[in-house]
Amino acid sequence: MQGGQKLKEIRNSRNIKVREVEEASQRIAEAKGDKRFGISDTWLTQIENGASEPSICKLFSLSAIYHVKVTDLMRLYGVDADEIERYETIATPQLTRLLPAGARGDNRAIRFPPDPGPRQYKTSLAPRRTEMGGRAPVAPPQHPDARHISYGYIGLDDFTMYPLIRPGSFVQIDARQNKPQPISWRNEYERPIFFIELRDGYACGWCELQGDHLLIIPYHSSPESTRRFAYPREAEIVGRVIGFGTRCVDEGVGCLADI
């Protein structure tokens, strides 16, 4: 059904006449001092017949007149405001960010291999749906402690943990582990990686506290330098990265993961 027809159904269900919409919208336009919020009876008829589409100002007035959320009226025309965050990785893929709860970005997210369970210690071929990496990974399964788990995206300009975690990767974050601890680690894979919120964005890397400063330390092969921030005024740890999905080579270079 066309958006205009649905608008007409809403109006009729509330027993509102076209002339009443015009009068009500003019009161809104006068109160706002902006004639763009006014709706003539001729214009409303054209909208309901599908001859034209409403502007955001007129949708605002219809929302007030019909007592329907403006975001619900936007959906009548195929625009879902709740999807905006999901398209941020498409609009600005170069930026590192936290993903909104339940979002899948550009319909590509990450699947982390499930816990193998007891006594499954031998190498085996995992079901194809659980593979990591590649051009179209799928969404992560429910984590046992999902309340504390969030997901982040490593921007295409973020080479802090390169090549261990490549730009364009998705990471799984445990928000309970949000403070660097003086723990011992034997190699780079045991060293905790953290997801950090900065004043103007996010970062992902190894961390050290030096007095009232937080150091974000890059992977030793990364071209990036160590960054220093006042802690927690300029940098706050979101949580520890407990999983990530990344390509085995840079974009555009073939590898077995693409097969």
Q: What is the residue range of 55's domain?
A: 3-81
For the cut 60, the answer to whether the pLDDT of residue 104 exceeds it is: no
> Domain boundary residue among 63, 81, 99?
81
Say if residues 28 and 39 touch (Cβ distance below 8 Å): no
> Do 68 and 101 lie in a common domain?
no
Q: Encode pLDDT of 158-192 as tens digits.
A: 999 999 999 988 899 999 998 877 777 888 888 99
> Do 177 and 201 lie in a common domain?
yes
Q: What is the CATH number of the domain that holds 45?
A: 1.10.260.40
- Pull the structure tokens for residue 21: 């919409």
> Do 181 and 252 lie in a common domain?
yes
* Distance from C-alpha of 105 to C-alpha of 134, rounded to nearest angstrom: 16
> Do 254 and 137 lie in a common domain?
yes
Q: What is the CATH number of the domain that holds 238?
A: 2.10.109.10
> Domain boundary residue among 81, 101, 125?
81
> Do 136 and 24 lie in a common domain?
no
> Do 27 and 92 lie in a common domain?
no
Q: Encode pLDDT of 219-254 as tens digits.
A: 999 999 999 999 989 999 999 999 988 777 776 544
- Pull the structure tokens for residue 184: 């011992």
Say if residues 76 and 53 touch (Cβ distance below 8 Å): no
> Do 175 and 207 lie in a common domain?
yes
> Do 119 and 200 lie in a common domain?
yes
For the residues 74-86, what does the mean pLDDT come to?
86
> Domain boundary residue among 53, 81, 109?
81
* Distance from C-alpha of 152 to C-alpha of 142, rounded to nearest angstrom: 15
